[in-house]
């Protein structure tokens, strides 16, 4: 049976059969999966999707996996929530949150890309898989490899958050800490993948991996009642996610599932690692690599593989990119938690702080339907909030002690005494 997808060079257009390959041998540009949209048309109707599983696999017909693929992990299909309290704080009127802080199985959007990458690792016959990771990818590869019975080698920068290290090791993965930053780790992974013939999800399987990000875009459109938003705000590390949300919207338009519309794309980075945001702001068509220095470690890629493409998507769509300081990231984490009950990791702090600034600077109009993409869970980066909250001394389990306690808190003093009890 003919495959309904193949690899294609992004620059010269050369076509390749499906293989663990990520770079064009003619021009050294990145390869991308091209799905046969005509073939997908029959399998990809609103009705068939609605009858599918409540996971990202409801979009299987537009993902590069074999027709008869039987997924082991129900990742994705996360909530799209209105955010009225946050909106009020930042001057928005129609703000929504795509909440991948609760993406299963490992609480970040990386579960989506790994699900597609490992499906292909199996097709290509790899028994050992791995990745270079800033943290969330490590967790997702370790968990899903365990479930599929694959061996995994995970390479990370040595200074990763403790929770992200533990959340890799618990699945029995081999975790290799590298004395260097993500870009060093990634270069080493390319060499290992060649030497040992292992399937590295974001190296030799990268074109397949990247397609998993499309499901964020498919879900946003379906959850809005099959329409596209005016704007999306997306955090950027390697720059892949933002380009694939755009690809998802284009595919839905091509299939006639949503009305054509120009969605504006806004990119979010931390100032301590902002090569894509800098390129967008300066109008440059090249990415100047940076040495990362930020608490948003999941976004700390100084030389982003898809940086150029991300910058183009943003510029061509009429969007913009912003970067925010570590202090702003921490307050944005708190603000999102206090207003909407969503505890996100540092990357979500970046997205939330950038979203607020885009409204403040008039880059996003208050009435626009805007989706802010929260991509990871705060329980993985609790060290970012170290010292933010005081632990008070314990009190005895007596009402009088509680009343004394309230009295000592000046803010709450007016609550004490019979007159305030309604
Ligand atoms: C990896 C990651 C991103 C960015 O993904 P890219 O596709 O590399 O730009 C965003 N948020 C979180 C939490 C991530 O782990
Ligand atoms: Zn090429």
Q: How many angstroms separate the alpha carbon of residue 236 from the centre of ligand 2?
A: 25
Nearest ligand 1 atom, CA 236:
9
Verify whether ligand 1 is closer than 6 Å to residue 243 (CB atom): no
Q: What is the pLDDT of residue 1?
A: 35
Q: What is the pLDDT of residues 300-321, one digit of tens each?
A: 999 999 999 999 999 999 999 9
> What value does the mean pLDDT of the chain take?
94
Q: Which overall architecture, per CATH, does domain 80-106+212-385 show?
A: 3-Layer(aba) Sandwich (3.40)
* 173-232 per-position pLDDT tens digit: 999 999 998 889 999 999 999 899 999 999 999 999 999 999 999 999 999 999 999 999
Q: Taking the model in full, what pTM does it have?
A: 0.95
The domain segmentation of the chain, as residue ranges, is: 80-106+212-385, 393-422
For 47-85, the pLDDT digits (tens) are 999 999 999 999 999 999 998 999 998 999 999 999 999
> Does ligand 1 lie within 6 Å of residue 356's CB atom?
no
Residues 6 or more apart whose Cβ sits within 8 Å of residue 219: 56, 76, 77, 78, 80, 98
Q: Rounded mean pLDDT of 281-300?
A: 96
Per-residue pLDDT, 421: 41
What is the model's pLDDT at position 415? Answer: 53
- Per-residue confidence band for 408, with pLDDT thresholds at 50, 70 and 90: confident
Mean pLDDT of 34-46: 87
Q: Which ligand is nearest to the CA of 16?
A: 2
Query: How confident is the model over 268-296, as a mean pLDDT?
Result: 97
Report which ligand 1 atom has the smallest distance to the Cα of 244.
7
C-alpha–C-alpha distance, residues 348 and 404, integer Å:
38
pLDDT level of residue 391 (50, 70, 90 thresholds): confident
- Average pLDDT of the residues in 99-122: 98
Q: Does position 3 have pLDDT exceeding 90, yes or no?
A: no
């Amino acid at each position: 049976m003919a495959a309904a997808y193949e690899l294609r060079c992004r620059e010269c257009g050369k076509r390749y059969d499906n293989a663990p390959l990520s770079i064009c041998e003619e021009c050294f540009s990145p390869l991308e999966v091209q799905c046969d949209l005509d073939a997908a048309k029959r399998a990809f109707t609103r009705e068939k999707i609605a009858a599918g599983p409540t996971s990202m696999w409801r979009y299987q017909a537009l993902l590069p996996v074999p027709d008869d693929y039987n997924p082991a992990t129900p990742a994705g299909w996360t909530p799209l929530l209105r955010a009225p309290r946050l909106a009020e704080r930042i001057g928005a009127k129609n703000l929504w949150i795509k909440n991948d802080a609760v993406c299963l199985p490992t609480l970040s959007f990386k579960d989506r890309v790994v699900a597609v990458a490992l499906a292909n690792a199996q097709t290509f016959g790899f028994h050992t898989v791995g990745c270079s990771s800033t943290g969330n990818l490590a967790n997702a590869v370790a968990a899903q490899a365990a479930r599929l019975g694959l061996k995994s080698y995970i390479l990370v920068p040595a200074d990763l958050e403790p929770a992200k290290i533990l959340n890799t090791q618990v699945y029995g993965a081999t975790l290799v800490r590298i004395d260097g930053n993500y870009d060093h780790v990634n270069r080493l992974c390319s060499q290992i993948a060649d030497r040992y013939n292992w399937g590295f999800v974001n190296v030799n399987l990268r074109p397949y991996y990247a397609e998993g990000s499309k499901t964020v875009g498919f879900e946003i459109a379906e959850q809005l009642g099959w329409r596209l938003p005016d704007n999306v705000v997306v955090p950027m590390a390697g720059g892949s996610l933002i380009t694939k949300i755009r690809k998802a919207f284009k595919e839905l338009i091509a299939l006639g599932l949503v009305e054509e519309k120009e969605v504006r794309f806004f990119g979010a980075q931390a100032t301590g690692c902002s090569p894509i945001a800098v390129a967008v702001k300066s109008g440059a068509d090249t990415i100047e690599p940076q040495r990362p220095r930020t608490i948003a470690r999941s976004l700390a890629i100084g030389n982003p593989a898809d940086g150029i493409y991300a910058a183009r998507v943003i510029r061509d769509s009429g969007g913009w990119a912003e970067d925010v300081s570590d202090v702003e990231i921490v307050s944005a984490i708190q603000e999102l938690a206090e207003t909407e009950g969503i505890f996100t990791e540092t990357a979500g702090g970046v997205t939330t702080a950038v979203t607020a600034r885009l409204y403040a600077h008039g880059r996003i109009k208050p009435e626009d339907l805007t989706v802010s993409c929260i991509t990871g869970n705060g329980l993985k980066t609790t060290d970012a909030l170290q010292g933010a909250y005081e632990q008070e001394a314990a009190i005895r389990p007596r009402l009088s002690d509680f009343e004394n306690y309230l009295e000592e808190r000046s803010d709450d003093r007016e609550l004490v005494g019979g007159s305030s009890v309604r």
